[in-house]
Structure 1
């Protein structure tokens, strides 16, 4: 099973979703990419996932262009921007779906509030992708 998770920057939500989905089933081939990749994975995303026992510290943002000619069982967008600007894949895509989440990197306020947003979104991504895994793959 080959799955591509897309976001705009590929620095936060798509990386967390990638980490969760891979943790549910090591036999899945999971990749993530962005329509406008950031320079690096958000450090708070790495930290919040490590707190949950998932290591994404070796992940790095990639441009979706590198995957356009491949075949995919699922292409999943996790942000509205990627959903709206999702490029046309010249390779075969069996299922294209959207599972949207807020971007915790846009949270403002106290350090505690921002951290709580990362935790909230991390946990929402876990639930959303576990439901996807159970309903679509398992």
Structure 2
């Protein structure tokens, strides 16, 4: 499939440090021959090290991942934009130039990483759970054919 026929997918959330990076990395890893995959946030922050760690556990190449602002993609058109924000108290960004927009909420792993009650292993396990939820959803939603 040539580059121009690939569907363009943009994953968005607030900080582009956890969920949208997980989704970008996993979709590119599983079905990158069918999709051009991007992610961005309305308030981008450095990618959480645990995000990178749990992706690497799946064999995902994390080198192309970087925190990006939604502004980088203003004016570009996407076949699908997916917002990944979870809680009702979470402000989810809106992106208007999409052929299709869907919302699929997942818990914010950032909440896990700042919880001082949790041990490092518990934090890592929390990130794995979010990663696996996102992976399962991507496999169901994006599987080619």
Q: TM-score per shorter chain, which class?
A: 0.7 to 0.9
Q: Partner residue of 1:126?
A: 135
> Distance between the aligned counterparts of 2:59 and 2:49, measured in 1?
15
Candidates 100, 104, 124, aligned match of 2:105: 100
Q: Partner residue of 1:37?
A: 44
Q: CA deviation at 1:105?
A: 2.0
Q: How many pairs are equivalent?
A: 131
Q: Could you tell me the TM-score, scaled by structure 1's length?
A: 0.87
Which of the pair is proportionally richer in helix? Answer: 1
Whether the 8 Å CA contact 2:29–2:61 is kept in 1: the answer is: no
Q: CA deviation at 1:82?
A: 5.4
Distance 1:131 1:12, change over 3 A: same
> Distance between the aligned counterparts of 1:48 and 1:71, measured in 2?
30
CA RMSD of aligned residues (A): 1.5
Distance 1:59 1:24, change over 3 A: same
**Structure 1: tracts of 5 or more residues without a match:** none
> Distance between the aligned counterparts of 2:138 and 2:14, measured in 1?
18
**Structure 2: tracts of 5 or more residues without a match:** 1-6
Q: Could you tell me the TM-score, scaled by structure 2's length?
A: 0.83
Q: CA deviation at 1:115?
A: 1.1
> Distance between the aligned counterparts of 2:41 and 2:111, measured in 1?
17
Distance 1:82 1:75, change over 3 A: farther
> Distance between the aligned counterparts of 2:91 and 2:74, measured in 1?
14
